[in-house]
A and B are shown apart, each in its own frame.
Chain A
Amino acid sequence: MNTFRGVHDMGGLPAGEVVASEHDFALWEKRVDALMVLLSRKNLLTVDELRRNIESLGADAYDKMSYYERWIYAITQTLIQRGVVSIDELGRRIAEVQARDDGGN
């Protein structure tokens, strides 16, 4: 291949039958969406930064992650790139959130 094609740039590629799938969005998914809208309104993120970070996921991750998993990944990447959130505080806070979960499942 002497061209570059992004994993997201899929128009015209072979794919399967369209299944009319949908689900009621979970609260956490809506919150991810809300964070994107709020950060964009506060000029801390552009939709194109969100997209660029999603597009930089490897092909495997792009297809395996759910839609809002890709979004929270990309929102967080943008916040790190802009210096709004540091990697250190992010890592510590994720660990704290996981420790708080009583592991009831």
Chain B
Amino acid sequence: MAETEAIAALFKAGDCVRVREAYPIGHVRTPYYIRGKSGVIERLCGAYPNPEELAYARPGLPRQPLYRVRFRQTDVWQGYRGKGDDTVDIEIYQHWLQAQ
């Protein structure tokens, strides 16, 4: 059942990606602060039912590939107070990512 229905992964570790800049209502697991920002795929975590659908008691299938994406803090926050190579790693589902 759920195990077989997964969307193919489009990205691999090291790929540059950009988070889609979109602002729907509803249950979204892509934080506001990271939309429109660019980062690098750290790893593919697997494929999981889409939480945007699970939130409404629907099955969330086919499963969405989920990645850990690494962003440089200085690319995320204006005037970041830290080191230039500090990072933030965030789990982001594939449908929120586009190739950079």
Contacts and interface: CB of A to CB of B under 8 A. Distances in A.
Contacts, number: 41
Interface residues of A, number: 16
Interface residues of B, number: 18
B54 interface: yes
Nearest to A45: B57
Interface stretch (A1-9, A85-93, A95-103): A1-9
Nearest to B24: A4
Nearest to A44: B57
B55 A46 contact: yes
B38 to A, nearest CB: 17
Contact of A51 (B25, B27, B32, B77): B27
Given A9-B32, A12-B33, A4 B56 contact: no
A12 B33 CA distance: 7
B55 A51 contact: yes
Given A9-B31, A12-B33, A48-B52, 20 more contacts: A3-B23, A4-B23, A4-B25, A5-B23, A11-B31, A11-B34, A12-B76, A46-B57, A47-B54, A48-B27, A48-B51, A48-B55, A49-B54, A51-B27, A52-B26, A52-B27, A52-B55, A52-B56, A55-B27, A81-B57
